[in-house]
Structure 1
Amino acid sequence: MEGRIMQRFVKALASAIVALPAAAQAQVPDTILYGVAYYDEYTPVDRVDEDARMMKAAGISVVRIAESTWGTLEPQPGVFDFSHVDRMLAAMHKQGIKVIVGTPTYAVPTWLARQHPNVLIVGRDGVRAQYGSRQNMDITDPDYRAAAERVIVALVDHVKDHPAVIGYQLDNETSSFNTSGPAVQAAFVQSIKAKWPSLDALNQAWGLNYWSNRINRWEDFPSTNGSINASMSNAFAAYQRSLVTDFLAWQAKLVRAHARPGQFMTQNFSLGWREGSYGIQPEADHWKAARSLDIAGIDIYHPTQDKLTGAEIAFGGDEARSIRNGQNYLVLETEAQGFPQWTPYPGQLRLQAFSHLASGAQMVAYWHWATTANAAETYWRGLLSQDYKPNAEYAAAKEIGAEIARLGPKLAGMTKHNQVAVYVSNTAQTAFNSFKPEGIEYNQVMRPFYDALYRMNVEADILSPDSTRKLDDYKLIVVPALYAASDAEIARLNDYAKRGGHLLYTFKSGFSDENTKVRYAAQPGAIAEAAGVTYQEYTIPVGVTLAGNPFGVSDADNAPRWWMEMLKPTTAEVVARYQHPSWPAGAAMTRNHWGKGEVSYVGFMPSDALAEKIVAAEVARAGVEPSVAGVQFPLIVRGGTLKNGHKVRYVLNYSAVPQHLAAPASGTELLHERKVQRGGSIDLAAWDVAIIEEDGRSGS
């Protein structure tokens, strides 16, 4: 199945396939796409032909259209106007630019809201949304689905035979949007009834006797919107995520039934948000939702200027690649300018583009071509500003576009074989966030551990309970805050260590089962024996440090934050102890031999610097080698294996200071087409990038 899916993508690129064995052809597109989103209906004057010419001059090879345009496509029910779509297709085709058509279902037209006000979402407050914002609809509503099907079919039937159209984006940044009205609540109850035929078993599993929340008849099942029970609330959150999976599968099936053979389906998943894309999305299970796609897509937005680190680019890319088990992916949206505080320094736009490719992206596209003059996103700027004139970002894009056009066929289809994984869980996320210590969310625990790997140039895959990758493929698996998980899930992780793997658990792991019910056992529950440690007491650390500063960080960094568990080793050795004038010197971190492997447990949230030292020690113990020994942020080295079997390394300078790297192997620096000798200096200017194709075939 994987082969047939990827073949559709390869054929859709409408150009010759590089001569490869049949199995490889099913996995590797033949070039990198460079693109923008474009909206003829937003432009201040008639300039679609001029915009297409400017795009061609900048090396733009693909545009995304139509996902925001339902009210323009269908001005009245069943009355369609495809004139702006036709204009864009004609202009782009004339310039040799390919097109991805978006289904326009994430922003409902005014007539639909008037005709069927029930399509507007009812949120947790019980109030139906007012018209105006996008994504204000209930994705389960029958009237919404009927209208959505009509416009999807009409659009796909209209464009499918146009030679410029290579694929479709299903909806846009889809989540449940927290839909929780009466119809959704009723459907949730039916799903629970199917899973829990016995109300006694449900009451027991969810602990509903508390505060008389017990449900004695299915007819008495209350709305989840007012629930104080995390088991109920988190079961409903999981159900909401399943609605996203169902919605995208429904769209994929519908579009496939009408699309031309060879056209692909994708979706631009959005990440969690914290001043930019940050961590896993709580309102969608990307691992499940991606199964209906041909190729995954992702939207990645991030700070720039002095806050540009590349970590958000790397994490988003690693997640997008991992949700399809290592398949390359599309960056369907990222910023060229974005918010005013994101205006990039000279060199940063180019660095960002190649950073996406370093994680395995097959496409980098900006949202969007030119900045709108109206409404909410007036100050969310595209590649061009409101004057639509060439600017510094356009000049940078021309350089990037020329380099991608030249190197795209060689760089496309890079594969990775990472030795480290970060294990994440939507179930643990929603459970953890129900009882946030110090107001800190799950992603704020997970990301510092991922970022530690990133900064030391150890690449990682992102696994979830729904991943099908073999755990034994990894030497080290980092498991942050696995607050809610089944015994079977934890046993799978522990058994990986028993067979010789290396596990790093953090605090608040194993505490509750998959129903967010605290385990009636010594904590950390099913982890306790494998980790060789238990605890009964925990608190918020104030004035606590680690005795003797065992990891050699600054005094300010040698302090637990947010949470601390007073660990009591059973079979584990103590790696670090707490120090406080009143608390006993309890264990803060332990390490335990478990079968042929090792399980480490961190009972507190470390500072970022301390997390980096802890992770570095675990990386070394697991026998994992960084991309280049001794090289750390701001010099980032990422890479993989090219189609020709050669290793490739992207060397990325995330600083305003020139950097130098001794070449780890002989090869060719592709951007400047010059030979590099092993040990020779690779010199990078501020915010610069180099791409080294090493001589000889990779042994990986």
Structure 2
Amino acid sequence: MKKPVADKQFELGVCYYPEHWPEDMWEDDYRRMVETGFTIVRMGEFAWSIFEPEEGSYQFGMFDRAIDLAHRHGLKVVLGTPTATPPAWLTEKYPEVLNVTYEGVTLQHGMRRHYNYSSPKYRELCAGIVSQMASHYGSHPGVAGWQIDNELNCEINEFYSESDHNAFREWLQRKYVTLEKLNEAWGAVFWNQSYTSWSQVYLPRPTPVPKQPNPHQALDEKRFISDNTISFAKIQADIIRAQAPDQWVTTNGLFGHLDSHELQDELLDFFSYDSYPQFSSIYYDPNEKNPLGDRSWSLSLSVVRSISSNYCIMEQQSGPGGWVNRMDMPSPKPGQMRLWTYQSIAHGADMVLYFRWRTATMGNEIYWHGLNDYHNLPNRRVREAAGIGRELAAAGKAIIGTRAEASVAILRDYDNEWDGEYDIWHGPFMWTSNKEWFKALQRQHIPTDIVYLRSKTTAKELARYQVLVYPHPAIMTDDTAAVLDEYVQQGGTLIFGCRTGYKDSRGQCYMRAFPGAAKELCGITVEEFTTVKGNRAPTSITWTHGDEALTGADAFNDILQVEQDTVEVMGRYATDYYAGKPAVTRNKRGKGEVWYYGAVFNEEAALRIIGSLNISSPAADWLELPAEVELQIRRSDTTSLTFLLNYNEASAEIVLKEPRTDLLTGQELSGKYTMEGFGVLVLQ
């Protein structure tokens, strides 16, 4: 049975690196952490050479003192396994553990994550250090749980060492058994790529056209990397479970080429995430219309919630951030750190640790500021954290264990994400449409889940949602289509975008009319299609209901043909050679309906569909909110909490038609109320 994130109190804490500071500073650090309201600290995830300075020689004295002292101050400890940074003695003695790039360049010691998961020697050495640590600390009363490694697949999520090629070959042999089946799955007859011996099979390697592997091989590569990463983590999880059965197990991150849902199901008590809302600004597309800014981080948190309904934030942004040469994020304005903390909590966090207690004075992260500055003197970030600590000490018990609630979900799946990294005919569209739908729903104050479709997903699980949006699932099996059809037949609403259903699980195109496996669901076929770029001017969609407004038909256009008399045309293309042709359709099917939108979604189009479906905010009857305020609901059998988050620096006026009590202040609110800039309310 999986252990909860928190069961007695909300856990608020901070990441701490005792090895970075003189030991005579620890006592004062811990004392001030407790005064700030912290209950938990994370340490150890980058300290392999301290635990094992020479192969087979283990030393625990420094961390014994650090953990014992934290425990005496009433602080719990999250202990990281240090396998994200193998020490210099290890990589010098066993260079086969190092990762290798696609071009064949060996990555050397000097940063982090410079190893590969496949090396038998590295797995053996990792098992050794984890076993020693788990044995030593598995019954320590101050250690609450373990973080496996650190940010699996961060920095780099491709692996091309000799060990990786060997492991990939073995993975393929288990999956396909025979070369005939492998050749069929990879379409190897094309360009004479057929294999006659397993020794000829490798991960993708350089070809005459750079980064241009067989697309079906590339899809299997991502599946292999995920399985291989999980098997690497499993070695550590199994050791900790055996030697520290009373302590929980998690890992942090959310990175590419990793089925985090499978990782959670198989290995973890709960999932952990590192939340840096200002990444939204770093990677901001200047061409994006009407962006959400740091509020868009709620979309990432919704993904985390799909993995683990209640989760830990292992690193919460607490200051300006960046490495010496990249990721130069500005300082949070007063109130923003509190806003981001409650953003994490609103979406399901029952534990939050700030990164970090004090800003590092050396290394690549000397500008990745924590709560305390280098000088260690009082500052406003520490004061803001202390205010949050006081609030959660009083109100946190009412929050933990409640779960986020939504009636709309955006569907995703790993196969389409991984295939779409390479296939530009559908991959980029998914990310655009996800964000545009999320914007539309956010500004209508409609909480939204992200749901990953998996082989074990059932129509019963999906039935809790009134509406499912599955923007561009190019890969769709008949089994997936059957589950979705059952959901619709029982009364659900399902919305597809262009490029739906035309590939099988191998990434090969069906010899069927598009949208392939989804054809019967939609009641239409795709007459033809075109990308919209270059000298092809964008067209618009004329909506055939209401005011017949025009919205853009972005990036790609499927020209639709109605095939069933249950289909209603909701919009037509306004210009180009396909002017007047169906662009948006709605098919009544059983008790539900299926929409097909023939382009890449934009916010305006999503709003048109939302209006047609009469979806509204769950708080619409008692609450009026401006667009800049996010609404999120967490609920249990006995508690309902409505989180309101103002992402604007300016104040925002809300109207409560019924009285509610703010959990954080105890104040009863009714009528007009002005939320301060970056303000937060948690209404009971």
TM-score by length of 2: 0.89
Code of the residue aligned with 1:298 in structure 2: it is Y
Task: Compute the displacement of 1:310 (Å).
Answer: 5.0
The 3 A distance-change label for structure 1 pair 219 and 309 is closer
| SS of corresponding position for 2:127 | helix
Give the match for residue 266 of structure 1. 250
Task: Compute the displacement of 1:231 (Å).
Answer: 0.9
Give the match for residue 464 of structure 2. 473
> Any residues of structure 2 matched to 1:624-663 within 5 Å, and which?
625-628=617-620, 631=625, 633-642=627-636, 645-663=638-656
**Aligned to 1:597, which of 584, 592, 595?**
592
Cα-to-partner distance string for 1:184-230 (whole Å, 9 max, x where unaligned)? 22222222223323433432332211111122333332442346311
Answer yes or no: is the 8 Å Cα contact 2:468–2:495 preserved in 1.
yes
**Aligned to 1:257, which of 238, 242, 247?**
242
> Any residues of structure 2 matched to 1:88-487 within 5 Å, and which?
88-175=66-153, 177-226=157-206, 228-259=213-244, 261-270=245-254, 281-291=255-265, 292-303=267-278, 309-324=293-308, 326=309, 328-337=310-319, 338-339=321-322, 340-437=328-425, 440=428, 442-466=430-454, 468=457, 470-487=461-478
Code of the residue aligned with 1:336 in structure 2: it is S
Distance 1:667 1:553 in 2: 38
| SS of corresponding position for 1:168 | strand
The 3 A distance-change label for structure 1 pair 425 and 565 is same
Cα-to-partner distance string for 1:325-376 (whole Å, 9 max, x where unaligned)? x3x1111112111245331111111111112111111011112111112222
Give the match for residue 546 of structure 1. 540
Distance 1:553 1:202 in 2: 54
Answering whether residue 18 of structure 2 is matched by residue 40 of structure 1, we say yes
Task: Compute the displacement of 1:438 (Å).
Answer: 9.8
The 3 A distance-change label for structure 1 pair 581 and 188 is closer
Answer yes or no: is the 8 Å Cα contact 1:419–1:473 preserved in 2.
yes
The 3 A distance-change label for structure 1 pair 532 and 303 is same
Task: Compute the displacement of 1:480 (Å).
Answer: 2.1
Distance 1:423 1:547 in 2: 24
Worse-superposed segment, 112-121 or 532-541 = 532-541
| SS of corresponding position for 1:81 | coil
The 3 A distance-change label for structure 1 pair 223 and 438 is closer
Code of the residue aligned with 2:8 in structure 1: it is D
The 3 A distance-change label for structure 1 pair 551 and 244 is farther
Task: Compute the displacement of 1:689 (Å).
Answer: 0.7
Distance 1:484 1:625 in 2: 32
Worse-superposed segment, 104-113 or 297-306 = 297-306
Worse-superposed segment, 153-162 or 46-55 = 153-162
The 3 A distance-change label for structure 1 pair 614 and 144 is farther
Q: Which runs of 4+ in 1 moved over 6 A?
A: 304-308, 549-555
Give the match for residue 499 of structure 2. 508
Task: Compute the displacement of 1:168 (Å).
Answer: 0.7
Task: Compute the displacement of 1:553 (Å).
Answer: 11
Distance 1:438 1:188 in 2: 26
> Any residues of structure 2 matched to 1:689-700 within 5 Å, and which?
689-693=680-684
Distance 2:233 2:575 in 1: 52
The 3 A distance-change label for structure 1 pair 439 and 238 is closer
| SS of corresponding position for 2:441 | helix
Cα-to-partner distance string for 1:5-56 (whole Å, 9 max, x where unaligned)? 23xx47xx6xxxxxxxxxxxxxxx2221111110011237741111112211
Gaps of 5+ in 1: 14-28, 271-280, 694-700
Answering whether residue 592 of structure 2 is matched by residue 579 of structure 1, we say no
Answer yes or no: is the 8 Å Cα contact 1:628–1:664 preserved in 2.
no
Distance 1:550 1:213 in 2: 50
Give the match for residue 528 of structure 1. 519
Code of the residue aligned with 1:253 in structure 2: it is D
Give the match for residue 275 of structure 1. none
Aligned positions, number: 651
Give the match for residue 696 of structure 1. none
Give the match for residue 569 of structure 1. 562
Worse-superposed segment, 426-435 or 36-45 = 36-45
Task: Compute the displacement of 1:170 (Å).
Answer: 1.0
Distance 1:591 1:428 in 2: 24
The 3 A distance-change label for structure 1 pair 554 and 667 is same
The 3 A distance-change label for structure 1 pair 671 and 554 is farther
Give the match for residue 24 of structure 1. none
| SS of corresponding position for 2:45 | coil
| SS of corresponding position for 2:572 | strand
Answer yes or no: is the 8 Å Cα contact 2:543–2:570 preserved in 1.
no
Worse-superposed segment, 182-191 or 540-549 = 540-549
Code of the residue aligned with 1:220 in structure 2: it is Q
Code of the residue aligned with 1:566 in structure 2: it is I
Distance 2:271 2:114 in 1: 24
The 3 A distance-change label for structure 1 pair 342 and 616 is farther
TM-score by length of 1: 0.87
Distance 1:305 1:603 in 2: 28
Answer yes or no: is the 8 Å Cα contact 1:317–1:361 preserved in 2.
no
Task: Compute the displacement of 1:515 (Å).
Answer: 0.5
**Aligned to 1:74, which of 52, 65, 70?**
52
| SS of corresponding position for 2:14 | strand
Worse-superposed segment, 64-73 or 558-567 = 558-567
Task: Compute the displacement of 1:91 (Å).
Answer: 2.9
Worse-superposed segment, 596-605 or 527-536 = 527-536
Answer yes or no: is the 8 Å Cα contact 2:183–2:194 preserved in 1.
yes
Distance 2:335 2:605 in 1: 30
Distance 2:476 2:427 in 1: 22
Give the match for residue 610 of structure 1. 604
Task: Compute the displacement of 1:173 (Å).
Answer: 1.1
Answer yes or no: is the 8 Å Cα contact 1:305–1:343 preserved in 2.
no
Give the match for residue 285 of structure 2. none
Task: Compute the displacement of 1:688 (Å).
Answer: 0.3
Give the match for residue 673 of structure 2. 682
Task: Compute the displacement of 1:101 (Å).
Answer: 0.5
**Aligned to 1:666, which of 649, 659, 665?**
659
Distance 1:314 1:514 in 2: 30
Worse-superposed segment, 593-602 or 211-220 = 211-220
Worse-superposed segment, 31-40 or 337-346 = 337-346
Distance 1:223 1:284 in 2: 17
Give the match for residue 25 of structure 1. none
Answer yes or no: is the 8 Å Cα contact 2:432–2:601 preserved in 1.
no
Gaps of 5+ in 2: 207-211, 282-290, 323-327
Task: Compute the displacement of 1:651 (Å).
Answer: 1.2
Answer yes or no: is the 8 Å Cα contact 1:479–1:505 preserved in 2.
yes
Give the match for residue 288 of structure 2. none
